[in-house]
Structure formats: C-alpha cells, structure tokens
Amino acid sequence: MLASTWLETVSALLAVLAPLVGVPLTVITFYLRSLREAQVTWHGHLGHRLDAVEAAVSTLRGAVADVERNYTTKEEWLRESMQARRLLEQLSGAMVRVETTWEKGVRKDFRPTENHPDTISGDR
C-alpha cells in the first residue's frame, strides 16, 4: 500500500510538473530555431552584399587604372613605348631565327627532280 501511494504521489507530481517544464522547453526550442533561421538568412544576405562589394571594387579598380593610363607622365609613356619596341624587336629576331631554321630544313629536303624541278623528291 505504501508503494502504491508513493507511485500515485510521484505520478501526480509529474503530472503537475510536466506542463511547467514542457511549455517553457517548447518555447525555448522554437525561439532557438527562429534565431538559427534568422542567422542563416542574415548570412545569405551578407554573402550577396560581399559579392556586390567585390564587383564594385573590381569595377573601381578598372576605372582607376584607366584614369592612371590616361594621365601618365611623358616619361612613363616613353619608357613603356620603348619597352614595347624592345619586345617587338625581340619577337622579330625570334621570327627571323625560326624562318632561317625552317628554310635550312626545307632546302635540305628539297631535291628537284628531272620532270618537276619545283617538287620535293619524296612527293612523286
């Protein structure tokens, strides 16, 4: 009999305490879930804003480079044109070497035949 009264007392106590504990835990759970959703949304918006800022910075960097290019000093312009001329001369020299090497290789393989003086001997 003592065990049954003790069991009834515990179950009555749990019946009274369950709503007192369950309701606040439910409210806390929903509150934390809403905080998480707000954080995810905020993080998404922040990512879009950062992408927009990066695009704007890239555009600004290009505009500044154009302004700097338009307002270079004569010395800078002369230096850059001399460097471009030097690079073109190097390219021309490389092309001459390639053409010379190619012509030497073609002349070595070129043996005019009796019937067709313009053909390579292996092309018959």
| DSSP codes of every residue in 43-64 | HHHHHHHHHHHHHHHHHHHHHH
pLDDT attached to residue 16? 87
- pLDDT > 50? residue 36: yes
pTM of the model: 0.39
pLDDT, averaged across the chain: 83
**Number of Cα atoms under 13 Å in the Cβ half of residue 13:** 6
